[in-house]
A = this chain, B = another copy of it.
Amino acid sequence: MAERVHGDELDVIGIGNALVDVLSQATDDALVKLGLTKGAMHLIDEAQAASLYDAMGQGIEISGGSAANTIVGVASLGGRAQYIGKVRDDQLGQVFRHDLRSTGVRYDVPLAPGGPPTGRCLIMVTPDAQRTLNTFLGASVHLGPEDVDPTLIARGRILYLEGYLFDPPRAQQAFREAARQAHAAGRKVALTLSDPFCVDRHRAAFLDLVEHHVDIVLANEAEIRSLYQVTDFDAALQRVRGHCEIAALTRSEHGSVIVAGPEVHVIPAHPVATLVDTTGAGDLYAAGVLFGLSRGRDLATCGKLGSIAAAEVISHVGARPMVSLATLAADLLT
């Protein structure tokens, strides 16, 4: 393995909306009746969350949050990783903190003593294993620049930010401040576009970020097409390769493409015995890519690490790996 971290250096620091997932099975008909767009992330308020929860079947609670899932994946691959995100001092907040720390992730953002409860994402998984997200941000809206410590940011080889952070206004400030601090310390900044509708809500800001403020972009096909408002994947690919240092673009079962200037790698999806729940596929792909980049691996290896991590997480319910990714990817990591 090239380039281990030294001293108090970290591989990846992730900032995101801290959420507990509530996963439930649902039919396509149920989504239609509830007016939900399959596969998308819908922002909902506390009252909508209560009424949607009433309409849902029995659930399974598993810690989630897009960047948090990624950071857990980095730790599971053997990386040194830290997470920044806000939960409240309530039962779900304690669950979130416990689960993060139990995987070896460093997490020391104080639990909010008051205000809205810990955020949650009500997830409906349809028989095709597609997930439809309904996010009540809760305490996440209180994440702000004061939660970002420049000395911490300077220690991370890569700062990883989720596009979802653009929804709560103070988190957006924290995002911009952290990116500035990372670059000031000579570190790389990575961004996931998160969701095509999220891109839609913040397109101008995201275009500016991708062109001027971000080194590494992660996106799926729908998100990158939404960013450039093109229907053709290749057209989006040609646009993004001119804009940022590295772009890693996922295409579900068709694998992924990683571009870095003139260099292009087409990476196959890793085989999955049984596809159960696609929640977290993109998050874990990002974990593999970011861990590989942090350790100075070639881009093709980074993509393969992403494919292995994504394959693990879609083979079971929930967006956190259930086995050691370092063991699964041992052939690539030795």
Contacts and interface: CB of A to CB of B under 8 A. Distances in A.
Interface in A30-66: 53-54, 56-63
Interface stretch (A2-10, A89-97, A234-242): A89-97
A102 B61 contact: no
B61 A95 contact: yes
Interface string A114-142: 00011000000000000000000000000
A99 interface: yes
Interface of A: 25, 53-54, 56-63, 72, 90-92, 95, 98-99, 102-103, 117-118, 317-318, 320, 322
Given A91-B90, A91-B92, A61 B62 contact: yes
Given A61-B62, A91-B91, A91-B92, A322 B25 contact: yes
Contacts of A63: 58
A63 B22 CA distance: 12
Contacts of A61: 60-62, 95
Contact of A56 (B56, B72, B102, B318): B102
13 contacts: A25-B322, A54-B98, A56-B102, A57-B102, A57-B103, A58-B99, A60-B61, A60-B318, A61-B61, A61-B95, A90-B91, A91-B91, A91-B92
A102 B320 contact: no
A72 B90 CA distance: 28
A195 B62 CA distance: 28
A91 to B, nearest CB: 4
A202 to B, nearest CB: 31
A92 B61 CA distance: 10
Contacts of A62: 60-61
Contacts of A53: 98
Q: Which of A60, A63, A103, A318 lies at the interface centre, i.e. has the most chain B CB atoms within 10 A of its CB? A: A60
Nearest to A95: B61
A60 B60 contact: yes
A205 to B, nearest CB: 33
A99 B23 CA distance: 12
A25 to B, nearest CB: 7
Nearest to A103: B58
A12 B86 CA distance: 44
Contacts of A25: 322
Q: Which of A57, A102, A103 lies at the interface centre, i.e. has the most chain B CB atoms within 10 A of its CB? A: A102
Given A91-B92, A91-B117, A99 B59 contact: yes
Q: Which of A56, A58, A59, A317 lies at the interface centre, i.e. has the most chain B CB atoms within 10 A of its CB? A: A58
